[in-house]
Amino acid sequence: MLACESLHHEYLSGGKQLTVLKDITFQLEAGGFLAIIGPSGSGKTTLLGLLAGLDRPTAGRVVLDGVDLGPLDEDARARFRRQRVGFVFQSFQLIPTLTARENVQVPLELAGSNDAGPRADELLHRVGLSERSHHYPSQLSGGEQQRVAVARAFSTRPRILFADEPTGNLDAANGAIVIETMTALNVEYGTTLVLVTHEPDLAALARRTIRLADGAVVSDTGR
Amino acid sequence: MTSAGFVRRLAWRQAHAARRRLMLLTASVVAGVGALVAVNSFTRNLTVAVAEQAKDLLGADLSLGSRSPTDDIKPARRLLDSLRRVGGGAVHVASSASFAAMAYHPSSGGARLVQVRTVDPGWPYYGTMTTSPARIWSGLQAGGVIVDPSLLTAIGAKVGDTLGLGEGRFRILGTVINVPGDVGLQMAFGARVFISTTSLPGTKLLAFGSRAQYETFIQLPPTIDAQAVARANGGVLRAERISVHTIADDRDNLTRGLIRLGNYLGLVALAALLLGGLGVASAVHVFIRQQLDSIAVLRCLGATSGQIFAANLLQALAMGLLGSVLGALLGVGLQQLMPHVVHDFLPLNVRVLPSPHAILVGIGSGLWTATVFALLPLLGVRTAPPLATLRRATDPVRARWDRLRVAAVLVLIASVVGLATLQVGSLVHGVAFAVGSGSALFVLWLTSLALIRSARRWTPESWPYLLRQGLANLHRPANQTITVVLALGFGAFILTTLFTAQQNLLRTIRVEDVAARPNLVLFDIQTEQQPVIDSVLTAEHLQRAEYTAIVPMRIRELKGQALADLLAKDTVGHRRGERGGAGGPPSWTLRREFRSTYRGDKGPGERVTVGHWFGSGAHGSGKSASDPVEISVEADLAKDLGVGIGDPITWDVQGVPVYSRITSLREVNWARFEPNFFVVFAPGALDHAPQSWVTMVRAPDAMVRGRVQREVAEHAANVTAIDLGEIQHAIESVVDRIVMAIRFMALFSLITGTIVLIGAIATSRWQRIREGTLLRTLGATRGQVLTILCTEYAALGLAASIVASILAGGAGWALARWIFNVHFVLPLASMATLAVGLVALTTTVGLWNSLEVLNKPPLEVLRAE
Ligand SMILES: Nc1ncnc2c1ncn2[C@@H]1O[C@H](COP(=O)(O)OP(=O)(O)OP(=O)(O)O)[C@@H](O)[C@H]1O
Ligand SMILES: [Mg+2]
């Protein structure tokens, strides 16, 4: 489902080269659940971005759902994401000027779906927010916003879902609800999950755990 | 830490962090202040030049102008005699006649229509003729000519050659470089040729019916006040159709005209400055929005809202001052270019000097505008809640109407009225300007509300998503609809108004398509010269139009009332176009010379509006009041004279009375080249009156026209052949200058408008970029993101420019009606072009502003807080 080969990534900052990822290679089967953990600054977010095709690696290859992301241009990757990839971010990243329902509709609308409305309602119901569908993000609590984000991530029934510290900004109770929803949908749709987290409890839920330190894989368990 | 010190430091630190945004504020006022300073400063230069050079412009203390030799007119002769009696030898008199004639160069065969001016020794009394070689002016009196350099090139002659004028032969002494009082534009109507009065008879020019302008220049000793002489004799002289000029009158008229022109151009500059004010308001608004977080933190830490308000006001003031000073510098720079614009119109040598007064007024206006426009959004910081530290509201802080806000709005309105009044020097016009701009802004504001509403209500669900998303941006929270529609719409309003005014002014000047029109007119043909002209034309294979008779005449009696009685009614108005007392006809219409014709057929540019064209049968002999000849009168003239069908008019044709009766009124298309007439007589009555003839031909090119002119000059010296191609050229050069002046002002509005647009769009810049990046993460292609943005900006641009066009149509109509007094036509095509251009501009600026969306890797979203 997801494979990467000798990924290297460097940032140029202040004229100096900063190597953030070194020689990362692993594979993940379809329907799997991977947790990426490691100390702050170890390169987790960077790795997630590369795996999802949001950025290009300095060297190395990413194959996602059988497609090599390397040769695809920016728009081709966008179309690919639209069809097969979902995202949940630490800071929710809802479009502030759209209501909850409209936010969930966006990926469907972009893909030209004609049942975006009913599908959004259904998903909002799944995350327990039917009552709030016409509220703007600023009118929702952090936990509620993240549940909307989860609903949005699953709206196109993606083959794979990337989540970067989805509970990082939430309290334990809200975090639990979000994780439950995510895992339930993972099972229901057979979606592959890639999760970056700091929290050991959360990592423990995953079937596989990769630990990064200083941009390199230091352990890979549950393979 | 003192409060003032804290405020100052805070102002500095915040400003430092938000330099880019504040530069928009500065830039908004630069162009407006620049235009204001340039226009006002240059107007001062002009008035100074007029004051200094008025004496040279006239060349004498007093001048009398007339259509026949001034000395032949009794009151003029009486005046000159009495002046000589009082002043003795200290009174000097010089006469001059100006007329058009053909000049030719016998050795090369070149010929050209020129303006001949005869001069007496001593003239000009003030100012000097600059000639090349120098000091040849007095040599004129010994016989010889001094000509415009352009004539020499045109006919291939050089100094020392012989020049033919009528039957006279003259040696070319040299060329004129500068004639005080003459403008460059005059040369377009023929090169100037100066000869002495004494050599005029030898040319045999100025035959009967030739048109010439006579002038008598008088130099007075200090003991005689020219102004008093003019005042005492003006009435009598003007009644005899003699115009009277004095240095002081000419100076005052010219100064008044220039100041008025400067004031109105300055008003356009002020409009650009107000537009900049909108830019200031939106820049401050964005600035405050971005500062809300830090303001909230500062308030949590204990800064008072007064301190924060003061710190922000200080920044606005400083940036406004910076912008105004930069604008003033720009204005002083631009002022250097302005002499080129007016060069051909004004007989002045203008010294371009920055006017401290104009600069101070410019900087003051800029600073004041920046301050009052910054005030409204700044008042928002007082109500910024410390709570914003915890949760950023998407909805902008709702403006609550309190006393301070109302006061700020009142100050704003008063400022606009004040600045406009100051600029145009009239409270009525100042208020009119404020009301005009205020209503335009109000209508635009309503438009933006309507746009928001209709985007929310009426976007059909069936439209493609990208379109719906773009339109939805118009009404979503934190939308930019109001700011952009106001800023763009007001800018578009100013621009479109300028262009509408320009088109309407030019339409009255511009001559229609000339492809198949006659382009050579032959005037002043004596009856016995017709065969000569015909043979010249036949030799060139040219087909002439029918000869048209021209009979000069004046009004003797109107509806049974003698001219003198009618003029007596005219108690106040002596100036051109002014109405006589008791609503009588304008005196100039009564006194003017009418060059009428007689013919059986209507001309091609004529249309009878009332009554009937002369039928077959007898039309009256005109020899007595009981047997009047039928005439047709141009409709506007009939209105001026207050006459209609059936009214009698008695004419004075070279001393012989001709009785007439109006049987039709006509509309005349004066823009046509065919000779047009105010009054057309039925054939018969004037057949034997003293008359000259005019005809026209279409010659294929300038070469042929030149040859015809030359032949005519040789064989019928007094006949004037006017090359309309050259006149067309002269008219076009006038039009070009006007267009240039208007474009110049429009440019400032466009620059300011674009800056303000950028500022207005910046309100939502951050938001749009964030959204765009997020959309791309979720799988939108760049094309899709672009489409959404394009839809939004195109919709904004379209709404703003359509409404602005409608408003500008209204403003253009009002200007045409009340300021320019011209008939108004809506220039739909150019307005549409302008609107399309503005939509394109908005979309471009909008996209350019959010270009980052396309370049930023979507990964940024993961890192963004
Ligand atoms: N645009 C950039 N330019 C330069 N350096 C960058 C850039 N983005 C990230 N880095 C650096 O790359 C390294 C890895 O960053 P990354 O965000 O992947 O870490 P992380 O493991 O996600 O940390 P955290 O747990 O704090 O989110 C960090 O040292 C960071 O400073
Ligand atoms: Mg991270």
pLDDT in tens, B223-267: 889 889 888 888 888 877 788 989 888 888 888 888 887 887 888
> What are the structure tokens assigned to B505, written together?
């002014």
Q: What is the mean pLDDT of residues B140-154?
A: 87
Verify whether the Cβ–Cβ distance A136 to B469 is below 8 Å: no
Cα distance from B296 to chain A (closest Cα, Å)?
A: 17
Q: What pLDDT is recorded for position B392?
A: 47
Residues B570 and B714 sit within 8 Å (Cβ to Cβ)? no
Average pLDDT, chain A: 88
Instruction: Categorize the per-residue pLDDT at B825 as very low, low, confident or very high, splitting at 50, 70 and 90.
Output: confident
C-alpha–C-alpha distance, residues B352 and B257, integer Å: 19
B92 and B204 share a domain? yes
What is the per-residue pLDDT for A162? Answer: 92
B624 to chain A, any CB pair closer than 8 A? The answer is: no
> Residue B830 pLDDT > 80, yes or no?
yes
Q: Are residues B26 and B113 in the same domain?
A: no
**Mean pLDDT over residues A160-186, rounded?**
86
Ligand 1 centre distance from Cα of residue B16 (Å): 28
Residue carrying the six token digits 């970056």 = A196
Question: Are B118 and B213 contacting, i.e. CB atoms less than 8 angstroms apart?
Answer: no
Separation in Å, CA A41 to CA A38, A49, A171, B246, B717: 8, 14, 23, 89, 101
B499 and B578 in a common domain: no
State how far the alpha carbon of B149 is from the alpha carbons of B34, B109, B131, B242, in Å.
39, 18, 10, 33
CA of B73 to the centre of ligand 1 (A): 100
Mutate: best of B777, B791, B853, B854, partner A, most A CBs <10 A: B777
Domain that holds residue B586: 544-697
The reply to whether B551 and B506 lie within a common domain is: no
Question: Is B666 at the interface with chain A, CB within 8 A?
Answer: no
Q: Model-level pTM?
A: 0.72
Domain membership of residue B259 (yes or no) is no
Domain identity same for B109 and B205? yes
Which of B187, B220, B246 finishes a domain?
B246
In a domain, B850, yes or no: yes
ipTM entry: 0.82
CB count within 10 Å of CB B399 equals 12
Bridge partners, B170 (sequence order): B163
A197 CB within 6 A, ligand 1: no
Does B434 reside within a domain?
no
**What count of Cα atoms within 13 Å lies in the side-chain half-sphere of residue A167?**
20
A114 lines ligand 1 (CB under 6 A): no
Ranges of each domain in chain A:
30-56+83-222
**Mean pLDDT across B798-816:** 90
At residue A64, the pLDDT reads 92
| Pocket residue to mutate for ligand 1, from A16, A19, A20, A211, most atoms within 8 A of Cβ | A20
Mean pLDDT lowest among A125-129, B461-465, B746-750: B461-465
Average pLDDT over residues A119-127: 91
Distance B232 CA to ligand 2 centre (A): 97
Domain presence at residue B54: no
Where is mean pLDDT largest: B290-294, B583-587, B623-627, B839-843? Answer: B839-843
Buried b (16+ CB within 10 A) or exposed e, B265-284: bbbbbbbbbbbbbbbbbbbb
Q: Transcribe A79-108 into DSSP letters.
A: HHHHHHEEEE-TT----TTS-HHHHHHHHH
Same domain, B24 and B75: no
CA distance A146 to chain B (A): 14
Q: Which residues of B touch A138 (CB under 8 A)?
A: 391-395
Atom of ligand 1 nearest to the CA of A198: 25
State the pairing for strand pair A16-28/B168-178.
unpaired
* Closest CA–CA distance from residue A79 to any residue of chain B (Å): 5
Range with lowest mean pLDDT among A21-35, B9-23, B82-96, B657-671 = B9-23
The answer to whether A89 contacts B862, with C-beta atoms less than 8 Å apart, is yes
pLDDT at B796: 92
Chain B hits for A111, Cβ within 8 Å: 779
Is the Cβ of B780 closer than 8 Å to some Cβ of chain A? yes
Contact criterion met (CB < 8 Å) for B478 and A55: no
Same domain, B587 and B490: no
Q: Which residue has the tokens 């009598």?
A: B236
> A112 and B465: CB-CB below 8 Å?
yes
Mean pLDDT on B25-53: 89
Note whether A36 and A196 are within 8 A (CB). Answer: yes
Mind listing the pLDDT tens digit for each residue in B691-746? 889 998 888 877 788 788 878 877 887 787 777 776 677 667 767 777 777 778 88
d(C-alpha B621, C-alpha B598), whole Å: 12
Task: Confirm whether B256 is domain-assigned.
Answer: no
Domain identity same for B418 and B471: no
With tokens 């200290």, the residue in question is B90
| pLDDT higher at B644 or B112 | B644
Are B826 and B692 part of one and the same domain?
no
Q: How many domains does chain B have?
A: 4
| Of residues A185 and B115, more confidently modeled | B115
Averaged pLDDT for residues B376-390: 67
Residues B608 and B512 in one domain: no
Using CB atoms, which residue from B394, B469, B771 is nearest to A138?
A: B394
Q: Does B473 contact chain A (CB < 8 Å)?
A: yes
Closest Cβ–Cβ partner in A55, A95, A111 for B774 = A95
Q: Which residue has the tokens 């900049």?
A: B276
pLDDT (tens digit per residue) in B431-485: 988 898 889 999 999 999 999 999 888 878 778 888 888 888 888 877 888 888 9
CA pair distance B705, B537, nearest whole angstrom = 10
Q: Is residue B713 part of a domain?
A: no
- The reply to whether B181 falls in a domain is yes
Please tell me if the CB atom of residue A13 comes closer than 6 angstroms to any atom of ligand 1. Answer: yes
Q: What percent of chain B has pLDDT over 70?
A: 89
> Does B717 reside within a domain?
no
Chain centroid to Cα B754, Å, comes to 25
Q: What are B565-590's pLDDT values in tens digits? A: 877 765 444 443 444 444 566 666 77
Q: Which amino acid is at B56?
A: D
Write out chain A residues lying below 8 Å of B463, CB-based: none
3-state secondary structure of A204: helix
| Tokens linked to A153 | 């991530």
pLDDT at residue B574, rounded to an integer = 43
In chain A the first and final C-alpha atoms are separated, in Å, by 14
Fold type of domain A30-56+83-222:
Rossmann fold (3.40.50)
DSSP per position, B488-505: HHHHHHHHHHHHHHHHHH
Decide if pLDDT at A40 tops 50: yes
If asked whether residues B223 and B87 sit together in one domain, one would say: yes
- For residue B133, whether the previous peptide bond is cis, meaning omega lies within 30 degrees of 0, is yes
B469 touches chain A (CB under 8 A): yes
A44 CB near ligand 1 (under 6 Å): yes
Residues B493 and B567 in one domain: no
Name the strand (E) or helix (H) holding B558.
Answer: strand B548-558
CB-closest option in A106, A112, A116 to B775: A106
The most distant pair of C-alpha atoms in chain A lies apart, rounded to whole Å, by: 52
| CA nearest neighbour of B738 among B447, B431, B503, B520 | B503
Q: What is the mean pLDDT of chain B?
A: 83
Say which range, A20-34, A63-77, B342-356, has the weakest mean pLDDT.
Answer: B342-356
In order, the DSSP letters of A127-162 are: TT-GGGTT--GGGS-HHHHHHHHHHHHHTT--SEEE
